[in-house]
Amino acid sequence: MLALILCYIWWWRPAHPLSWIFILGLVLASQVFRRETPVRLGFRLTNMKNALAVCAPVVLLLGLGLVVGGIMGGTIRRVTPESGLLSLALYCLWGLFQQYLLNGYFLNRFAEMRPAAAPLIAALSFSVIHAPNWFLMIVTLLGGFASAQIYLRFRNLYVLGLAHGILGFLLYLCVPDGISHHLYVGPKWFL
């Protein structure tokens, strides 16, 4: 599945932009075949309070660091409040989807094969998908490992998606394109 995602990012997306639907269909078919319910995957409200208690201070600290760094460096993007809120909301949905793939699909598969190494393998896979953007590869390696650990403890994708969305939006808002390359991956990174 990792190879299919990389093929989509690197080759299929420009010519076949809807080919992601086929990949998602394979993921969903795999989960139906394995009788993985949405609740088992982490689409649930249970443990939300406990997961928030662990994630919120970290997100707050990292977010504050990004904003302070952006202010001090003069790198905060100019966005209207409306476009900023819309971007944040969309990034939270995108973050939920990425956490679903990272943890609900890949981490669960890796945990069956190599339980002790599964968080690291999932994080490395998540990082590779963000190639060649070295900045995102580092961020996703560290963030992917942390989110895999939190997922294994709480199995709550909503909290992870929210954290991913907030931090991803703040990276876009505060980190200059000279470092973040506008958060592009694959061939778009070279533009």
Give tens-digit pLDDT for 24-60: 999 999 999 999 999 999 999 989 999 999 999 999 9
Give me 165's structure tokens.
């969305």
Has residue 180 got a pLDDT over 90? yes
| Exposed / middle / buried, residue 76 (Cβ in 10 Å: 0-12, 13-18, 19+) | middle
Across residues 104-128, what is the average pLDDT? 97
Has residue 178 got a pLDDT over 90? yes
> What does the alpha-carbon distance between residue 179 and residue 53 come to, in Å, rounded to a whole number?
31
Each residue of 128-139: pLDDT tens digit? 999 999 999 999
For residue 31, CA distances in Å to 53, 109, 111, 140 come to 29, 11, 15, 24
Across residues 160-188, what is the average pLDDT? 96
Q: What global pTM score does this model have?
A: 0.93
Return the closest-CA partner of residue 9 out of 176, 145, 132: 132
| Exposed / middle / buried, residue 114 (Cβ in 10 Å: 0-12, 13-18, 19+) | exposed
